[in-house]
Chain A
């Protein structure tokens, strides 16, 4: 009996060892290229870093760098605030948009594969450097301006906006919504993966549920909220995290641009580290808090 137990323990041990062997590249890489630089940059954010004569000298100077980032640097506060609010609005818009598109793409119609392929195209084409170039394309801006002029400045959103503005309620909220609608192109570009994830979730819901609801007299609208929504609610969490993370790593992110400018052009490593730590902690806190609230509402079927 005890021998057999030993044997099982031995097998488990062997499996544990081989498990560790399998993930050892990650552990090594994590320790060498993540933990060490992370601590170093954390340390550097409390230091005055000098790169004189090819030598790095670090002198502890307390929270001066943080003080610099918040109180001295003219841009950082504003950029940080703008970027965070942009992230909130756009992530929400991306989630809603991709859920909506996934709902449409889940229906059966001709050319579905083609449409799906087109929606996924941005994942490939607007990544990395291309995003940054796309966003400050002045030629497109001038084109848009000429179009606007030639149609004597009447666009649907502008007309709607002016109507809603006269109502005078919640102007700021409208403004955000219209900002998103005006930039629907950005939203569509950023939601390729989310659409596919939602689609795969929608396809796992068994049709018998909808049939049962239909027989019981449920309208489509009700079954959307009572069946579809809870069934793929866990994917909302996944997509939310993915969207936020994707958003804060985009290369046209102004905070990141600012950090890189401080680090590479001005060679102020200490300040750059402090700024990036502030940004990272804020994003982490944001992701943590929001996903905590979402995960409370997630419904697990099995």
Chain B
């Protein structure tokens, strides 16, 4: 009873009285907490600004006319507002076609890669077979080998493509697969696409953390391996599969290396962006009829506009799927 009264009386005390009772400890604690949160705010605000500023800068530059770029007074708010940069960049990149192509390629590639990687990851997580360690070491090796190392020979490999000399036997010549999309789809089906080793690793980690009871129950009830995988395990792994799919989509969207190497003939946003300054030069030359050098500032302005146009779809995607991007990595519980 007295205890209750005590606590009721305690509540009525003001901050300073409580502070006095605690011998100055309370004030000290509050001050430290406030100071920590202020410092944390400043630090985080600075770092977030650091990351976001280039994007804001690109946005403001993309609405400027060439006059504004040289005006030292104009820093972030354009004096002569224009959307002409967007129109020009869209024309230079062949935007609509490129976006459609990119969406198609990225979607199909990502779907194929993740389908195959899920199979492989599941195989590594749930089955015991001879040489398993060896093959998994090979997965790690695939993550480690820069694709540029084998680029030169892949180049030739697909230039004179052949399966065990069969085509040469039939048609008398090997097939030139350079420039077609087929090689890249083949590579994706063989888990050798962009960062596929990483996806295998992540999916394996996720499957390893799912308890095996359900799976065993399914086996006991006479479910086959494949059926168990599709009916029991796959629904449980949707988070990691979604996020790997998103990663694959996004990285494929911006990828330059594989796109230039295998999909050179297909107009994609990534390759179009890396060529945008050259095409600007060609465009101006076509209009003027004489070879002119474009100013650095203007070409950079067009480049910024093009970059923005490329990343806008990704930002929209990220806004909607932010959770599955970020949380997936935490959920794999990566450990070595």
Contact = CB atoms under 8 A, between A and B. Distances in A.
A243 to B, nearest CB: 13
B156 interface: yes
A120 B47 CA distance: 12
Interface in A11-65: 12, 14-23, 25-30, 32-34, 36-38, 40-41, 44, 56
Chain A's interface size range is 35 or more
A32 B164 CA distance: 11
B311 A16 contact: no
Interface stretch (B89-97, B234-242, B294-302): B294-302
Given A125-B311, A139-B300, A22 B144 contact: no
Nearest to B226: A18
B127 A18 contact: yes
A290 B190 CA distance: 31
Interface string B276-309: 0000000000000000000011001101100100
A227 interface: no
Interface stretch (A66-74, A152-160, A206-214, A279-287): A279-287
A134 B148 CA distance: 21
Interface string B172-191: 00000000000000110111
B334 A184 contact: no
Contacts of B254: 127-130
Max count, chain B CB within 10 A of own CB: residue among A14, A22, A104: A22
B186 to A, nearest CB: 8
Contact of A117 (B191, B250, B326): B326
Interface string B34-65: 00010011011001101110110100010000
Max chain B Cβ within 10 angstroms of own Cβ: one of A21, A139, A184, A248:
A139
B119 A116 contact: no
Central interface residue in B37, B301, B318, by most chain A CB within 10 Å: B318
A130 B251 contact: no
A133 B51 contact: no
A128 B270 contact: yes
B327 to A, nearest CB: 9
Contacts of B138: 26, 30
Contacts of B129: 15-17, 19-20
Contacts of B54: 134, 140, 185
22 contacts: A15-B128, A19-B132, A21-B123, A22-B123, A25-B190, A30-B192, A37-B157, A38-B149, A109-B40, A127-B255, A128-B254, A128-B256, A128-B270, A129-B256, A132-B256, A140-B57, A146-B72, A185-B51, A196-B330, A234-B335, A259-B151, A273-B152
